Amino acid sequence: MAVISGCFSYSAFHFPLPSCSTPSSRLSVSRIRLSASMNSSDELRAKLMEFPHVSAPHRDLMVELLSSVETRLGSSLQPCILPPDVQRFENPAGTASASLQLRPGLPSSQIDLILGGWIHCKLPSGGALNITSLSGYLKASTDAPHFLLDLIQGSPTSLVLILDLSPRKDLILHPNHLKTYYEDTQLDRHRQRLHTLPEVRPYFSPSLGVRALLSPTAIIVTIDVGTSETTNIEEIIRDHVGPVAKELLQFWIESCACPERHVEESEMAYLAERDRIIKNTAIEVDLGSSFPRLFGQDVADRVLTFLKEYYNK
């Protein structure tokens, strides 16, 4: 889920591909073609997959990430459970639109849900705000981290990137969790890699709740090319953000979502409660404040109510 207050984008997707798990191979995906059995919900989903408002490298990245999820995890996921008017919505003026997809995991799966989407909003200044996002939440039957990705672009020369494997436990009380998922894996090398770029600096979310839920290796940065003539945002997405995002997603799929963990009964209640708070924080912070502004109160209420009810059932 997007975890920047001010705007969010959900890239919802649903590939009309056969649902089968393929062992770790990265698919090269350009555009997804639609099957002959396409109906209106497929159309909706296909349209979402097109990421109509962002640059080519940005779109390519999102498509590739979503394809990875579909290919590797699709057989563990149910179809999208959002009603059509929550999958796709606009503000009354037609200047803001969004697409969302939420696919729950099958009962047998460790995956709680995959949420993706995008938001596009024309700005009064003449530009546009675009947010694309992908999150993967796991169930309390595993203590492996969740996956979060948000790209928030409010100008052609500046992008906020949040990319994290967010912790399921208090890292102080559970140093083993820190060691297993963050130290031994040398996860910090991805953050360090991006921070070597002169265009990159840390971003401080206005929400303390968001800062608190991110891991110590979280990539939470502003990428600003300014008036640079040597590079642009698209190149940075293609050459740096993309590779890091794909590696982290790959790691999450292989080492977090798929491997079975045997969590004690006593621990499951702890994880479940913590996860509930994380998901609600993401909604409150991300959607709660900006959705009414972007989409008007009615649309915002409809979407937020549905998501909150789903998260808290």
* Footprint on this chain of other proteins (rule: CB under 8 A): 170-173, 175, 178, 182-183, 188, 195, 201-202, 204, 208-209, 211-213, 215-217, 270, 273-274, 277-278, 281
Nearest distance from residue 135's CB to other proteins, in Å?
16
100 or 285, CB closer to other proteins? 285
Cα→Cα distances 22→67, 115, 229, 242, Å: 11, 21, 42, 21
> How far apart are the C-alpha atoms of 173 and 158, rounded to whole Å?
38
123 or 212, CB closer to other proteins? 212
Nearest distance from residue 208's CB to other proteins, in Å?
4
User: 205-209 contacts: CB < 8 A, separation 24 or more?
Assistant: 205/3, 205/4, 205/5, 205/162, 205/285, 206/5, 206/6, 207/3, 207/5, 207/281, 207/285, 209/281, 209/284, 209/285
97 or 217, CB closer to other proteins? 217
156 or 175, CB closer to other proteins? 175
Nearest distance from residue 157's CB to other proteins, in Å?
21
Q: Are 16 and 59 in contact (CB under 8 A)?
A: no
Nearest distance from residue 171's CB to other proteins, in Å?
4
95 or 222, CB closer to other proteins? 222
> How far apart are the C-alpha atoms of 149 and 264, rounded to whole Å?
29
| Nearest by Cα to 58 from 112, 9, 101 | 9
27 or 208, CB closer to other proteins? 208
> How far apart are the C-alpha atoms of 126 and 107, rounded to whole Å?
46
Nearest distance from residue 309's CB to other proteins, in Å?
20
178 or 307, CB closer to other proteins? 178
Which of left, alpha, beta for 194 (phi over 0: left; psi -120 to 50: alpha)? Answer: alpha
Nearest distance from residue 256's CB to other proteins, in Å?
17
Helices vs. strands in the chain: H and E counts, helices first: 11, 8
> How far apart are the C-alpha atoms of 297 and 285, rounded to whole Å?
16
| Nearest by Cα to 97 from 290, 302, 295, 291 | 295
Nearest distance from residue 276's CB to other proteins, in Å?
10
Nearest distance from residue 204's CB to other proteins, in Å?
8
Phi, psi of 10, rounded to the nearest 5 degrees: -120, 120
| Nearest by Cα to 103 from 204, 7, 36, 15 | 15
30 or 192, CB closer to other proteins? 192
